[in-house]
Amino acid sequence: MSSQQENGSFTLNHLNTLLAGVIIAQKRGVYSFEESGALAEPVKIISQFIKLNSEEKQNLEQQQTKQQSQSNNVQIPSTIQEDDLTLKNLI
């Protein structure tokens, strides 16, 4: 068993899979009208939760990528000047 299964935690992928299963079952007519009504609010709440957390994760990844690219773009000053490359300095 994985550590996630042992401690009872879940991921957004778990929620997304459950949500997809409920939606497919509803489209296939598995639930009665009353059952569909009872599921409507939890499905909406979980959908919003997944969307918000996915957006937050993307924003965090973009910020980290931006910070990494900024730290990689450090300008190293040149120690060789144009005058140093003339013939008189090479003789």
Tens digit of each residue's pLDDT, the chain (91 residues): 454 555 678 888 898 899 999 999 989 999 998 999 999 999 999 999 999 998 998 888 888 888 877 776 655 555 655 555 555 555 5
| Rounded Cα–Cα distance for residues 32 and 39 (Å) | 11
At residue 41, the pLDDT reads 92
At residue 1, the pLDDT reads 47
* Domain layout of the chain by residue ranges: 3-72
Reported pTM: 0.56
Contacts 24+ apart (CB under 8 A), 63-70: none
